[in-house]
Amino acid sequence: MRKSLLAAALLLCPAAFAATPHWEYSGEAGPAQWARLTPEFGQCAGSNQSPVNLDGLVEAKLAPLQFHYLAGGQSVTNNGHTVQVDYAPGSSLELDGMHFELKQFHFHAPSENLIKGKSYPLEGHLVHANAKGELAVVAVMFESGRANPALSQAWQQLPAKAGESRSLATPLSAKAGESRSLATPLSAEQLLPTNRDYYRFSGSLTTPPCSEGVRWLVMKQPVQVSQAQIDAFKAVMHHPNNRPVQPLHGRLVLQ
């Protein structure tokens, strides 16, 4: 079951989505209908779903998050649902006495999670998995301000069409018609705020199959991103790609 959870989280590649039942962010295949589209999406009607409105916070002694990130952004993909950067092995998060490897990060506009009812123009999800296939997602809120260095790198290769994937691993080419890639690997460290305080709750993937049992860690401090970077992401998505907030059903949000 845990391995299937990891597989579901890593489904964000065009080839995988071709074999997945069609779903959207609005209309007849939108979030309200996800659980009815196919039995595989049944958990989308579960009681421990994400995203949520982080409110009614409970004070707890949360252990500091230990990030061990290398520069490892390998490729950037527009799969029609988000823009995702796949990450090379070797970067990790230490959590609950376990090693969670960073697999990929992707974005939603506007934000999926709310903090005390507040929405942000962009939210990043850094998806990690441990050896059992259990997932931990670090969520970062972005607010309009100065340009973000990591996004400046990734957005150089921003694929305009769904299904397009571009490498971030080879040097930039100046010749017309050649694929352009980053001269240096992209580092996810630049997506994180200086203050590493966070909220924690148990939830799910925010896209079908909405698998539950995901450790959610939402950074309290937002990170700045330029309005131009937000607009560039929206331009290639063509639609909002945020799932509406889900009921907590008695779950605690710790801080």
- The whole-angstrom separation of Cα 203 and Cα 101 is 19
From 68, 81, 238, 249, active-site residue: 81
Q: Is 214 exposed, middle or buried (0-12, 13-18, 19+ CB in 10 A)?
A: buried
- The whole-angstrom separation of Cα 124 and Cα 83 is 10
3-state secondary structure of 67: strand
Using alpha carbons only, give the angle 48, 11, 52 rounded to the nearest 5 degrees.
25
Return the bridge partners of 229, or none.
none
- The whole-angstrom separation of Cα 94 and Cα 96 is 7
Tokens 């609005």 sit on residue? 26
Using alpha carbons only, give the angle 81, 83, 88 rounded to the nearest 5 degrees.
125
Look up 81 and say whether it is catalytic: yes
In sequence order, what are the residues at sequence separation of 6 or more whose Cβ sits closer than 8 angstroms to the Cβ of residue 97? none
Q: What is the DSSP letter of 230?
A: H
Nearest C-alpha neighbor of 85 from the set 198, 173, 169: 169
Give the residue numbers annotated as catalytic, written as ranges: 81
